A = this chain, B = another copy of it.
Amino acid sequence: SDRQAGQDGRTGESGEETSEFGQLGPVSHGPRLGIGMDSCVIPLRHGGLSLIQTTDFFYPLVEDPYMMGRIACANVLSDLYAMGITECDNMLMLLSISQKMNDKEREHVMPLMMRGFRDAAEEGGTSVTGGQTVMNPWIIVGGVATVVCQPNDFIMPDGAIPGDVLVLTKPLGTQVAVNAHQWMDIPEKWNKIKLVISKEEVEQAYQEAMLNMATLNRTAAALMHKFNAHAATDVTGFGILGHAQNLAKQQRNDVAFVIHNLPIIAKMAAISKAGGNLFGLLQGTSSETSGGLLICLPREQAARFCAEMKASRSSSLGQDGGIGDGQQAWIIGIVEKGNRCARIIDKPRIIEVPYRVSACVLCWSLASFCHSCLSTLFVGWSGDLLNCLSLNIDGFLRHFFQL
């Protein structure tokens, strides 16, 4: 399908990391970061401030337009979060509407996608004040995130030292989950994996992946400061290994990253094996969309970092942590002396990350978000309330009963 082609066709999925853009301009005062990492950092002419920004756009990869909007926004903001930035001053939205949609489809799909994007921006404490919309054969959704920072607001991704440990804040396997979900309708594809997973499990894995992709890395960004992170990046188009290598290259010290553990959405490793090492998931090369942060932390801080990530309603941001509440994080490797490279050990431990129970308040079916139908049933309810309803029954109950 077009969508499939679009996914496969992307050449620079993760913002600044594309090499298409060549060399940097002249170096000025203050830290500067150009092509190659998650965001660019430009020293400003005013009072030691820095302009930090990033852009990202891609093609839909989940069927729910509202969730797709949330994912696109989470993916854009993630490049700021990877630098320990928790605030965003402005967002622009980049959209294209497919020519192939009729008026009715367009009027149904695009407002939901834009609303998902806006809701995620709001959860990130920012808002969308502009953008551009064009017609195109394919739908495109993305954005630009910009912040003006003081020196202490961000953490340059170059300070890892031997002895640090590597922490990952979301499980891997989103690409496998999204594709497996499409394969349920394609017999020749489905036959290859049906021995290792049921359709119900694929549905759950897909919902889990969607929930993870829509989760902001904002809590992790805040905790990077609290626990003295030395460097971080977010895991997107080049997979965990690609981004680990990219981050290693950026380091000031002679370090190497060694990954021992791969936390993966349950059953996705089995699918990958059954399909003949699909997408290179176990080699760390499978693309992720809106993946977790990969963070270099002092060894003595890492366990507390993970514990605080998991603590319900993180207070790090001084507010409701949103759908990121109770996120898990894993220590996945170590930083040792070396020549700025990264590798996965021969037989990494696969951590099967179970699906969370998430129920629709209407039908109580497992792992069903039903945002679209909720919108029509609860006309006039706030977007915030609908999000709680559709994404997180606990959050909904807390919100609704003011617990």
Contact = CB atoms under 8 A, between A and B. Distances in A.
Interface of A: 5-6, 9-13, 15-16, 18, 20-22, 24-25, 34-35, 39-40, 42, 44-47, 49, 51, 53-59, 89-90, 92-95, 97, 99, 110, 114, 127-138, 140, 142, 144, 146, 148, 150
A35 B129 contact: yes
Contacts of A127: 25
A175 B317 CA distance: 50
A45 B22 CA distance: 33
A12 B110 CA distance: 14
B92 A55 contact: yes
Given A90-B51, A146-B51, A148-B49, A133 B15 contact: no
Contacts of A44: 89, 148
B53 A21 contact: no
Contact of A46 (B15, B35, B49): B49
B132 A46 contact: no
Contact of A11 (B5, B20, B97, B128): B97
What is the total number of copies of this protein in its complex? 2
Contacts of A128: 21
Contacts of A39: 130
B134 A58 contact: yes
A153 B93 CA distance: 26
Contacts of A136: 6, 9, 136-138, 140
B18 A132 contact: yes
A114 to B, nearest CB: 7
Question: Most chain-B CB neighbours within 10 Å: which of A21, A22, A140?
Answer: A21
Contacts of A56: 132
A99 B49 contact: no
A42 B6 contact: no
A127 B97 CA distance: 30
Nearest to A144: B144
B134 A95 contact: no
Question: Most chain-B CB neighbours within 10 Å: which of A13, A127, A133, A140?
Answer: A133
Question: Most chain-B CB neighbours within 10 Å: which of A40, A140, A144?
Answer: A144
A15 B130 contact: yes
A292 to B, nearest CB: 20
A137 to B, nearest CB: 4
20 contacts: A9-B135, A11-B135, A12-B133, A12-B134, A15-B132, A16-B130, A18-B132, A20-B114, A20-B131, A40-B90, A42-B129, A44-B89, A44-B148, A51-B90, A51-B146, A55-B92, A55-B130, A59-B134, A136-B138, A144-B144
Nearest to A5: B99
B53 A130 contact: yes
Given A18-B133, A21-B131, A57-B132, 12 more contacts: A13-B134, A16-B131, A20-B95, A20-B114, A24-B129, A35-B130, A39-B130, A42-B89, A44-B89, A53-B90, A53-B130, A55-B144
A392 to B, nearest CB: 24
A191 to B, nearest CB: 29
Contacts of A5: 99
Nearest to A58: B134
B10 A134 contact: yes
The 9 A-B residue pairs with the shortest CB-CB distance, nearest first, are: A9-B135, A25-B127, A40-B129, A16-B130, A137-B137, A12-B133, A40-B130, A34-B129, A20-B133
